[in-house]
Amino acid sequence: MDGEPLVRWYWIGDHLGYLRDLTLDHAVISLVPVLIALLIAVPLSLACARFPRIYQPLSAVFNVVYALPSLAVFVVLIPYTGLATRATVMVPLTFYALAVLLPTAVDGLRSVPDSVRQAATAMGYGPWHRLSAVELPAAVPYLMAGLRVAAVSSISLAAVGALIGRGGLGYLFIDGFQRTFPTPIVAGIVLIAALALVTDLLLVLARRLLAPWALRTGAAR
């Protein structure tokens, strides 16, 4: 890259549509797995809270999955999900997000004191009413904190999928490296950082809307 300027602005101006499409693709393959993981984590955390013995084995399994190199997992999945498909990238990202969300959801449910549960029962709350009115709201700050970590991690890891043909903004890194042209690389870094920042800010806003009381108590900051 000797003699090549770090950014050629005309290239960015000529490829705005291309950069927009890559950003949208990156958002889908990185954030949809987080939403799927959330839908799985909530009922799993409820089961773990009710039956504590299953939590440690589940947590150990997901911790092992989280420790696996993402590229290796992508390659292993190719025979089953195909090369250059969204599923090949999204399936591992779902498990990675689940490894983050499950502990935070369980911690949130465990944060409700027994005295509060007993008071809700004494007021006539049945199990489902108590769950929806007391336990799940208490877990919201913890879940949102876990979502922030899972979403930012997923946005970063999704770029690795470009090595197997489906990585959104990760294509820019490969393109820039192969052509000894730093502008796409810089654009990819900036766009991934911007996507992560916007996502994190939206989750912070969602937390303020869903659990305003947590701001006063400082829960799960």
For residues 185 and 7, the answer to whether their CB atoms sit within 8 Å is no
Please report whether residue 3 resides in a domain.
Answer: no
**Do residues 37 and 150 lie in contact, with contact meaning Cβ atoms separated by under 8 Å?**
yes
Nearest Cα to Cα of residue 31 among 152, 125, 146, 112: 152
CB 200 within 8 A of CB 151: yes
Q: What is the reported pTM?
A: 0.87
CATH number assigned to the domain comprising residue 139 = 1.10.3720.10
- Write down the pLDDT at residue 215: 57
In a domain, 92, yes or no: yes
- With respect to residue 1, please indicate whether it lies within any of the assigned structural domains: no
Q: How far is CA 31 from CA 66, 96, 141, 158, 220, in A?
A: 17, 12, 19, 9, 22
pLDDT at 174: 93
The verdict on residue 2 lying in a domain is no
Q: Domains in the chain: how many in total?
A: 1
Residue 150's domain comprises 9-217
Tell whether 116 is covered by a domain.
yes
Contact 96, 65 (CB under 8 A): yes
- The residues near 103 (Cβ < 8 Å, ≥ 6 apart) are 59, 146
Divide the 221 residues of the chain into consecutive groups of 10 and give the mean pLDDT of each group: 77 94 96 95 88 89 88 87 86 94 88 73 74 77 92 94 88 92 94 97 91 60 49
